[in-house]
Structure 1
């Protein structure tokens, strides 16, 4: 949900992703590589604005 991401800081969820599925260029909203994502939801817990959601 890009509209919830302030996009002015390094995304803290990137550091907790165990498979490296989250990327960020500059301070743009992070992107999630669905092919790599294992749906562990660690990124959801660390997103301070609740912008990352995992659909089952």
Structure 2
């Protein structure tokens, strides 16, 4: 991705717009990854809580 930006700056073809769009894409992909990780963590937590509750119910 950085090579593309460097090439555009050297040739003088709208470097600012290219850089902005690439930065935006990078930010979006980071956000998506963190969202997915958050969902996975939430699922793990709820699963462990559910197991814990079932364990308590079975003891009684």
For the aligned pair, the TM-score class normalised by the smaller chain equals: under 0.3
Where is the strand percentage greater, Structure 1 or Structure 2? 1
Larger radius of gyration between Structure 1 and Structure 2 = 2
Where is the helix percentage greater, Structure 1 or Structure 2? 2
TM-score in terms of structure 2 length: 0.22
Greater relative contact order structure (CA < 8 Å, 6+ sep): 1
